[in-house]
Amino acid sequence: MKRYYYILKPMKRAFLLPRKTRTTDSLRRTGTACSFIFRRRASTACALLRTTRTTDSLRRTGTACSFIFRRRASTACALLCLVVTMMGEQKILVHGHRGARAVRPENSMPAFEYAIAAGADVLELDMAVTKDNVVVVSHDPVLHPPVCTGPRDGVAIRELTLEELRRWDCGAVRNPAFPKQQTVPGTRIPTLDEVFGLAGKGTFEFNIETKIFASKPEYTPDPEEFARLVLAEIRKHKLEKRVIVQSFDYRTLIAMKKLAPEVRTSALMEHDDQRDFVTAAKAAGNAPIVSPNYRIVTKEKIAAAHKAGLHVVPWTVNTPAQWDAMVKAGADAIISDDPAGLIEWLKKKR
């Protein structure tokens, strides 16, 4: 029994490995492990197998390890062949853009709850800061219809306290760009604290964008203060391992990296950005993720990013043709206004 304890303990740790482990590396190690099986070097084989990806693969690999120690090499390798087949299908993570803008009011609690129910891997959202320094969830720094209607148009969120901001209804009017969007009258702009409160509903992650503008400093706190306010909410909910902080303005990403190196950052890129993905990531303080507009994504750029150890998460990708192009290019995840539609499409592709 003692011997099996030392087999199972590392396998338990293996279940906690990041699901984005590169498939090719896992396949190489699995193949190497098979050679060790037949050479009766079981402990070495299991050490290699601990790096395989996906929960099902790990479960089957654990079973294979038990067969290894029982000297049933043929059964073990049959299971490993199944692991290899499964690992060949890399999982594409789905980010619900502004929750699920295609079907619910953007950046709202109804949108986030819809995305969670649909099975999104990540909730993508935007942040602003009120006059009383509360981090709230909004793409636009200025309130205007059709997104939000209230006492007056064109007022900046930074000019309002949270109590004043609650007077705006951000679910009463359908966005004409999304004909399937359902209105939810009475919807208020949520705080980041309220959105993080949804964390207990699953194991999904949060991809949160600092909406900050060098040309409009009056719209937000300075980059360092913005990063501090956001980090306080992350730590309050103990979500350091489940949050990605993204931005087009890399000052907040660099600030966050200094404050909390354990929090992942993502360098956003516009459609006219001419830089390669590796250069953009370096400019963002060596961000581990780069998030380009889907129009500038190519297979070659993604391959170069992967070679540098980066993950690539294109935005905002809303049609089957666009989804297919991103999958073929090798994207690690896709940000979409229609997470449910993307999830269903990916299931059919498998």
Strand residues in the chain grouped as ranges (E)? 93-96, 122-129, 135-137, 142-143, 155-156, 205-210, 243-247, 264-269, 289-292, 311-312, 333-336
Distance of CA 43 to the CA centre of its chain: 35
Q: How many CB atoms lie within 10 A of CB 227?
A: 26
The answer to whether the beta carbons of residues 242 and 199 sit under 8 Å apart is yes
- For 274, counting Cβ atoms within 10 Å of its Cβ (0-12 exposed, 13-18 middle, 19+ buried), the class is exposed
| Residue positions annotated with a catalytic role | 97, 139
Strand 135-137 to 142-143 pairing: unpaired
Phi, then psi, of 13 in degrees rounded to 5: -65, -35
- DSSP code string of 85-113: HHHTSPPPEEEETTTTTTTS-TTSHHHHH
- DSSP code string of 320-337: HHHHHHHHHHT-SEEEES
The answer to whether the beta carbons of residues 192 and 211 sit under 8 Å apart is no
Q: What angle do CA 61, 67, 68 make, to 5 degrees?
A: 85
Q: Which amino acid is at 257?
A: K
